[in-house]
Amino acid sequence: MSDSVFKDVESAPPIQVFQLTKLFLDSTDPNKVNLGVGAYRTEEGKPWVLPVVRAAELQMASDETLNHEYLPVAGLPDFRTAATRILLGQGHKVLAEGKVESFQALGGTGALRLGAAFLKNVMKFSTVYISDPTWENHRGVFQAAGFNDIKLYRYWDNETRGLNFAGMCEDLSNAPANAVVILHGVAHNPTGIDPTREQWRQIAQICKEKNLFVFVDCAYQGFASGSLEEDAWASRYLADQDIDMFVAQSFSKNFGLYNERVGNLVVISKDPKKLTEIRSQMEIQIRVVWSNPPNHGARIVTTVLNNTAFFEEWKGQILTMANRIKKMRQELLDNLKKLGTPGNWDHITKQIGMFSYTGLTEKQVEYLKSKSIYLLSSGRISMCGLTSKNVAYVAKTMDEAIRAYPRDESFSFVEFARQKLNPPEQGYNVVKTSVIIDGALEREMGENEFKLKDTESSESFIKIKMLGVLSSTSTPEAESKQCVTLDEEAEDGENVDLGEVQNILSIDTQAGTLRTSVKTFKTRSIQTVASDKVEPDTYKNRAIPARFEGTMMTPVYFDGIMITPEKLDVMLTEASKKGDNFSLPIKLQGGMLSTAFKAMSQTDKGDEPVPVKFHGKLQGLLEPNKDGQSVPVTFDGNMRKLE
């Protein structure tokens, strides 16, 4: 028998959230808990069909006027109207001015996919910004639609376990015109941290000034506060700003219609005259994907939203779900405090919506899974999976995991620097290691990959001249001092003399990310990295390959001071002849650049520059005896110790 055409097909990695559900269902442990799935559960841990949904279905079943004919391509008209009204509010000006169109979609995911397809195929947009972190499917949806430039904007601050608003604003301010920006309308997934209203106003202003295309993902209206009005505030405010925008609505959560796939894509156009053309193009996108949408779930939602009694009942049931989630947040926090669990866990109750971004490490997560508590490796938990019966067990197991695998066993650059590098009288706001880089920083982007450029081909290098600091992400106060925006933007082959400006070249030891705020490079947007010699998984999607040429001066210690140029050059030449990928691992250890290359010996040359050339890895060690997220780099120039 001849080989199958499928012989080279490899297994894709499992979809984590569904894999967790399978592990949960397969487990025979009576104490098992599923904290992965994003679906509401009752106090008994059971799925809940909303009573108002059952009532609507009974009414529909007895309505002999209903049938199973095809719906229009754009979907059930009454559903689209009612869904859009719930999102924007009855009297919103964009509705009154006729600036709104909508399209029924297969859940929130379908609405995102439809919008992405339109933006790529019709508008020819190619760049999208998603939050770091975000719902894992955002990247996949936009990649599938053809977006090849997917960037990150900072969102989560791991030190404060809150919003990195300054970083978010800086990244959005540096985004190019017509970049699509995915904003979570309410109850950010996975962090549960939303901007304040004042912060939303600033975000809207940036998007408007920079001509960014706003695409709101509104999957949890009602789930955060229990109020439809409160949870729609950000979407309504953005719609009020006279901008073109999309909103992806989902009724999976607030109606419990997970498997009915009920979604709505709301289109707001500054020019209402263009809605006819937009609709015609959107229907083409729909026709080649699902042709026209299913009826049953959309009919349920329409029946409830257009019936006053049903609508009031539904609002009460949303409040029931939201209040139970809040109750479980408080019970989890109370149990952790009762146990004296190390660390501050107040963020559990400060976060909102279905999920809590706990801050648990991967080792701690693995410990919980070994005790039949299933959650995402990121530490995100679904609060709906907690009940008054299992919350004590979950808290106890979290406590055990945190004590068995404390965060402190991972090297803390910030804590070390506080203790060793900064004199106490100077305070601890700025934790940094000063360096000077005078040369070229270059990157090459493939399809979601970054590779080292050929060092012989320098014509496409982006040459810069900069002063900067090699620093960790520490406190918000430090962040504001560290992130200095450049006045000039480097062009290919251009040297930018920054004078005394101190720009930031930073390493975030939590994420292993090499960053620079030089606008040309936009390195904070990197998600995936690979090279010909290194597997992408090594970097856990945070590392940035780069090449540095020039002089690096650092007030840190070395295991050796790069020996003599003659000796090193010989060694590199010999390695090159052998065809080896010669490397000198450089590890970030408490703000110290130390080389693990054994042949290097101490020298008393002091501040005398020592020319060096080497290829190696710049690493943020997250745990002892374990390679952290690594950044392949090439240094070509002088390195010397500063007193």
Which string of DSSP letters, residue by residue, matches 108-123? HHHHHHHHHHHHHHTS
- Are the CB atoms for 434 and 642 separated by under 8 Å? yes
H/E run at residue 266: strand 262-268
- 164 pLDDT more than 80: yes
State what percent of residues in the chain have pLDDT above 90. 58
Model pLDDT for residues 33-46, shown as the tens digit of each residue: 999 988 999 999 99
3-state SS class at 89: coil
Strand ranges in 443-567 using DSSP code E only, listed in sequence order:
444-445, 450-451, 462-471, 497-508, 513-516, 546-554
In sequence order, the β-bridge partners of residue 156 are 163
The domains of the chain, with CATH numbers, are 16-38+313-406 (3.90.1150.10), 70-305 (3.40.640.10), 413-641 (no CATH)
Predicted pLDDT at 423: 31
pLDDT of residue 628: 35
Instruction: Name the residue type at position 481.
Output: K
Single pTM value for the model? 0.65
Question: For residue 438, which amino acid is it?
Answer: D
Residue 340 exposed, middle or buried by CB count within 10 Å (0-12, 13-18, 19+) = exposed
Residue 275 one-letter amino acid: L
Q: Do the beta carbons of residue 261 and residue 230 sit within 8 Å? A: no
* Strand partners for 150: 128
For the stretch 355-380, pLDDT in tens is 999 999 989 999 999 999 999 988 99
Q: Which of 417, 347, 412, 425 is nearest to 379 (CA)?
A: 347
Q: How far apart are CA 247 and CA 266, in angstroms?
A: 5
* 135 labelled catalytic: yes
Going by their DSSP bridges, the two strands 462-471 and 497-508 should be labelled as parallel
Residues 227-272 pLDDT 10s: 999 999 999 999 999 999 999 999 999 999 999 999 999 999 999 9
pLDDT value of residue 448: 29
- Whether 217 is catalytic is yes
Residue range 386-395: mean pLDDT, rounded: 96
Q: Which of 484, 531, 533, 537 is nearest to 512 (CA)?
A: 537
156 is catalytic: no
Given a cut of 80, whether residue 195 has pLDDT beyond it is yes
| DSSP element (H, E) containing 277 | helix 275-287
Model confidence at 203, pLDDT cuts 50, 70, 90, reads very high
Distance from C-alpha of 643 to C-alpha of 639, rounded to nearest angstrom:
13
Phi, psi of 464 (to 5 degrees): -135, 160
Q: Given the residues 135, 156, 200, 345, select the one marked as catalytic.
A: 135
The pLDDT confidence band at residue 534, using thresholds 50, 70 and 90, is: very low
Please list, residue by residue across 481-494, b when 16 or more beta carbons sit within 10 angstroms of its beta carbon and e when fewer do: bbbbebeeebeeee
Q: Of how many residues is the chain composed?
A: 643
pLDDT of residue 406: 85
Q: Please, what sign has the CA dihedral across residues 312, 313, 319, 321?
A: negative
- Given a cut of 70, is residue 3 above it in pLDDT? yes
In the block, residue with structure tokens 């156009």:
269
Least Cα distance to 464 among 445, 433, 436 occurs for 436
| Active-site entry in 132, 157, 217, 231 | 217
What value does the mean pLDDT take over residues 464-472?
29
Pairing type for strands 162-163 and 156-157 reads: antiparallel
Q: What is the dihedral of CA 35, 36, 41, 44, to 10 degrees?
A: -40
Q: What is the DSSP letter of 287?
A: H
The catalytically annotated residue of 32, 120, 253, 522 is: 253
Q: What's the pLDDT score for residue 580? A: 36
Q: What is the DSSP string of 309-356?
A: HHHHHHHHHHHHHHHHHHHHHHHHHHHHHHHT-SS--THHHHS-SSEE
Q: Is residue 615 predicted with pLDDT exceeding 50?
A: no
- Supply the pLDDT for residue 15: 87
Give start and end residues of each alpha helix (H) in 70-144: 77-88, 93-96, 107-121, 137-144
Residue tagged 């005078």 (tokens): 438
Q: Report the largest interatomic distance among the alpha carbons of the chain, rounded to a whole angstrom.
A: 94
